[in-house]
Chains A and B, each alone.
Chain A
C-alpha cells in the first residue's frame, strides 16, 4: 500500500482565496482524521470521519473550514476564504477498525499571504 496520500504537498495562496486540500486514506481503513500543525499550537485535531460520516468536527476553527468524505477513498478539507492565520501544515491520517494506530500522510504545507 502507498500509505496515506495527500495533495498538494505545498500550497501558496493569497488571502481571500479558496483552498482545497485532498486526502486518500489507506485502503480498507474506516477512520479518517484531519489535523493542523503549527509551532504555536502543536498538532490539533480538526475533524474525523467513520465510514465516510463526520463524527466530531468540534476542532474545526470556524465556518470558513469545511470537510467532506464523499467515498471511502477520498476526503477534502476546504478553507473559504483563507486567511494568513490559516498558514500551517495540514495532515490527514487514517486508521483501521481493529487497531489504534493512526497512519499519517506527508502533510500539505499551506501558506496564505
Chain B
C-alpha cells in the first residue's frame, strides 16, 4: 500500500502468482487516476488509467479497481513475471493540472 513516511513498502510475490498493489488517494474530487511503473534507472511509465465514473478497468494482465467510498485504488497484476519487478505509483488528477503522485510500492518478483 501507500507509504506513510520515508520507507517504501515492498511486496514480494512468487513468479506466476497474482499481485495486488494498493493506494489510498487523498482528494474525493479527483476524477482521473493513473498507475505508473518505474523500473530501475528509468522514468515512470504509464500502465493503466481509470475515470471516477468507473469502478474497474482491465488491460493486458492488469486490472485497476476504484473504490470511491473509501478513496482506495488497487492494481492487480495477473501471473506476475520477473519483468514486473519495479516501483509502482498511483497518481490522481483533481482538475489541477499536475498529477498528484503517491509514494510508491516496490514489487519484487521471486523466480
Contact = CB atoms under 8 A, between A and B. Distances in A.
Contacts of A104: 36, 43-45
Main secondary structure of the interface of B (DSSP, over half): loop
A100 B41 CA distance: 24
Contacts of B93: 100
Interface of A: 4, 31, 33, 39-40, 42-43, 45, 48, 50, 55-56, 91, 93, 95, 100-107
A42 B44 contact: no
A31 B101 contact: no
A43 B101 contact: yes
Interface residues of B, number: 22
B70 interface: no
B61 interface: no
B104 interface: yes
Given A40-B6, A42-B104, A105 B98 contact: no
Nearest to A109: B41
Contacts of B53: none
Interface string B37-64: 0000111111001000000000000000
